[in-house]
């Protein structure tokens, strides 16, 4: 029961919330669910495998371009969507084999470099639309049924998020998950106890890339247009912010982190586009929110919102000790 | 770019000098990273922001009629002050680990975006540097590149003198080689860390004001600067300023050569692939597990 309750709650929210939302908020819901999907992977990577990736948006981009390019060339959308996580995971495995020898800030900069290389290559690749972007991606369809409304994409994004959460939970509770948690604390100790660290690290890297790729696939069909500019380095940083703010090493963390950040940014965006506000206000406010929330969280709530909230609940419900 | 087409030798000289000029900018960013990392073990992700802020301020001052030299000095001063502020937030709280500080500086880099857009907007900015075209061994290139080289060389000489010969510089170097021993002999390690951040800020600011005339600056130029700076610094394990200088120059030359002979494409990739290769080779040599680095 304890195991099923949170998953059931999430399922209920993802199933019941979209129809209640007005049209203009559905877009936020879709992007939130996709960001949360990527963040589940980032949190797994940072919290359980102890690796910082500042290039997670590259796998989001790889998934999106995979789905988009296949669909543009007439491959059935469902096949394109399924190929997105596979190609992203394959790319992560090929890149990870050499890169995961690196640790800490070296790995952070290496993943950042990978994303800059990918963006530069995409901007020069005429077959992928170059800097202008890939246009005319058809809407998602299965067996002649075409998904046109935002509501359909809200369910698709919710389904994708649910899949990522369930897989992540099963990985964490597996033997491999325990090994990884040990390795994140002390690699030497874990290796000495017989944890196959290298393999696990690569597997988590590939899995997190697959989550990002799957989310990217939905993104491609939802927007119908992709450009290198849709996947800036800042997007990668946003995923890290969401993961850190929510709390690494929990399943609820990335969901809470993504929700808090997206809603805050959305709120400030509404505020910034009020009449009388200067036209740079939305950009300034959203950058400031990312920065301040990240810094305050890291310095004062280093374990993130979810663990901090849990600790507070435990303190409140526990009998008083004088 | 430089060079009269048709004469391979003067093309090459032009690319080399231009590359050294661009590389000097990377080297300054890299040396700022090194100055901070040596003392605090923090990789300062906001290093590129110092350059952008300094360049933006210099552009505004020049636009307001402040003469050259004074405007650039103002930019460098802003870089130094920003460096100090970043240092206070990043390492000011006792017990902040270097990994945490890295994430904090990442956040401060994003915060700088908000400040920059608020004050200067999101359009690229530039200002004229040394006017005209210089002729060197038959190669024609923007004279400003020579100024970048001419300023960077004495700055590195001054730094070498400062770290080796002055009391303050030697106290910094002492913190770099052994924090505990430095504390024992009465050096305030935290204050030295803040000093390192200030120096790093000034060096970043100098890189910004020097390179802006040949390379426009936008609020998000910092990503390219920090990545190239890190690439240069990582050659020397982030602790050796001289290697960072060599690394920066090498990167600059590699990029202009790639741009010159590769037709403009793939110059970004050259630098980044070089950096990845260096890091992977270093990791292979020192072994994959280096827990102290975290």
Please state the rounded mean pLDDT for residues B230-249. Answer: 86
Over chain B, what is the mean pLDDT?
A: 85
pLDDT tens digits, B10-54:
788 888 888 899 899 999 999 999 999 988 889 999 999 999 999
| Residue B275 near chain A (CB below 8 Å) | yes
pLDDT (0 to 100) of residue B75: 94
pLDDT score of A3: 62
Nearest to A60, CA basis, from A237, A265, A235: A235
pLDDT for A209-246, tens place per residue? 999 999 999 999 999 889 998 898 889 989 998 998 88
Q: What is the pLDDT of residue B207?
A: 94
Phi/psi for B142 (5° steps) reads -60, 130
Helix/strand/coil percentages in chain A, nearest 5: 75, 0, 20
The answer to whether B170 touches B14, Cβ cutoff 8 Å, is: no
Mean pLDDT check: name the lowest of A110-114, B46-50, B207-211, B290-294: B290-294
What ipTM, to 2 d.p.? 0.84
The pLDDT assigned to B265 comes to: 65
**A101 contact residues in B (CB cutoff 8 A):** 280, 283-284, 288
* pLDDT class of A4 with cuts at 50, 70, 90: low
Predicted confidence at residue A141, as pLDDT, reads 79
Interchain pair A102, B283: CB under 8 A: yes
CA atoms of B154 and A154, how far apart (whole Å): 60
pLDDT of B64 strictly over 70: yes
What digits encode the pLDDT tens for the residues B69-84?
899 999 999 999 999 9
pLDDT tens string A85-129: 999 999 999 998 888 888 778 888 899 999 999 998 898 888 888
Surface of A (72-131) touching B: CB under 8 A:
98-99, 101-106, 108-110, 112-114, 116-117, 120-121, 124
B258, B238, B266, B56: which is closest to A119 by C-alpha?
B266
Contact check, Cβ <8 Å, A117/B223: no
- Interchain proximity A285–B114, CB inside 8 Å: yes
Of the candidates B89, B122, B224, the beta carbon closest to that of A280 is on: B122
Neighbours of B158 (CB within 10 A): 10
- Determine, for residues B291 and A187 on separate chains, whether the beta-carbon distance falls below 8 Å: yes
pLDDT tens digits, one per residue of B104-115: 998 999 999 999
How much of chain A exceeds pLDDT 90, in percent?
30
Residue with tokens 């002979």: B261
> A12: buried, middle or exposed (CB in 10 Å: 19+, 13-18, 0-12)?
exposed
Residue A64's pLDDT is 95
């Amino acid at each position: 029961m304890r195991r099923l309750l949170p998953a059931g709650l999430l399922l209920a929210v993802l199933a019941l919330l979209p129809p209640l939302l007005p049209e203009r908020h559905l877009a936020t819901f879709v992007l939130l669910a996709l960001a949360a999907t990527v963040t589940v992977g980032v949190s797994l990577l940072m919290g359980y495998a102890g690796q910082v990736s500042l290039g997670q948006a590259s796998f989001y981009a790889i998934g999106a371009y995979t789905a988009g390019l296949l669909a543009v060339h007439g491959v059935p959308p469902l096949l394109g969507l399924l190929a997105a996580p596979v190609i992203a995971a394959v790319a992560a495995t090929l890149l990870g084999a050499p890169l995961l020898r690196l640790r800490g800030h070296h790995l952070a900069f290496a993943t950042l470099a990978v994303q800059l290389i990918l963006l530069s290559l995409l901007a020069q690749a005429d077959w992928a639309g170059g800097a202008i972007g890939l246009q005319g991606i058809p809407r998602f369809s299965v067996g002649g049924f075409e998904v046109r409304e935002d509501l359909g994409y809200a369910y698709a994004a919710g389904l994708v998020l649910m899949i990522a959460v369930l897989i992540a939970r099963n990985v964490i509770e597996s033997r491999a998950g325990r090994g990884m948690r040990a390795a994140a604390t002390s690699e030497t100790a874990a290796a000495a106890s017989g944890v196959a660290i290298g393999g696990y690290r690569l597997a988590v890297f590939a899995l997190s890339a697959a989550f990002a790729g799957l989310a990217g696939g939905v993104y491609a069909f939802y927007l119908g247009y992709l450009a290198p500019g849709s996947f800036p380095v800042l997007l990668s940083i946003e995923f890290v912010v969401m993961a850190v703010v929510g709390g690494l090493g929990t399943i609820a963390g990335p969901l809470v982190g993504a929700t808090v950040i997206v809603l805050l940014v959305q709120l400030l965006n509404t505020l910034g586009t009020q009449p009388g506000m200067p036209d740079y206000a939305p950009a300034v406010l959203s950058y400031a929110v990312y920065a301040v929330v990240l810094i305050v969280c890291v310095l004062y709530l280093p374990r993130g919102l979810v663990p901090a909230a849990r600790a507070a609940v435990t303190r409140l419900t526990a009998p008083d000790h004088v | 770019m430089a060079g009269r087409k048709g004469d391979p030798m003067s093309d090459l000289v032009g690319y080399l000098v231009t590359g050294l000029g661009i590389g000097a900018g990377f080297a300054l960013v890299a040396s700022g990273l090194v100055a901070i990392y040596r003392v605090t073990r923090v990789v300062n992700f906001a290093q590129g922001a110092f350059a952008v802020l300094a360049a933006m301020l210099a552009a505004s001052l020049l636009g307001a009629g402040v003469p050259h030299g004074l405007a650039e000095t103002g930019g460098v001063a802003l870089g130094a002050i920003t460096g100090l502020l970043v240092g206070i937030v990043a390492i000011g709280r006792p017990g902040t680990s270097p990994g945490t500080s890295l994430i904090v500086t990442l956040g401060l880099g994003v915060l700088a975006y908000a400040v920059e857009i608020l004050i200067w907007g999101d359009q690229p900015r530039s200002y004229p540097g040394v006017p005209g075209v210089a002729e060197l061994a038959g190669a024609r290139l923007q004279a400003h590149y020579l100024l970048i080289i001419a300023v960077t060389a004495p700055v590195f000489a001054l730094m070498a003198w400062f770290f080796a010969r002055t009391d303050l510089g030697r106290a910094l170097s002492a913190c770099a080689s052994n924090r505990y021993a430095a504390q024992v002999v009465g050096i305030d390690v935290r204050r030295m860390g803040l000093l390192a951040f200030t120096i790093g800020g000034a060096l970043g600011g100098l890189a910004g004001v020097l390179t802006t005339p040949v390379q426009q600056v936008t609020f998000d130029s910092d990503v390219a600067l920090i990545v190239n700076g890190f690439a240069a610094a990582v050659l020397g394990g982030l602790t050796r300023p001289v290697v960072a200088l060599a690394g920066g120059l090498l990167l600059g030359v590699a990029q202009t050569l790639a741009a010159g002979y590769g037709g403009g494409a793939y110059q970004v990739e050259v630098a980044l692939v070089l950096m990845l290769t260096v890091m992977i080779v270093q990791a292979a040599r020192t072994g994959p597990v280096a827990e102290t680095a975290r």
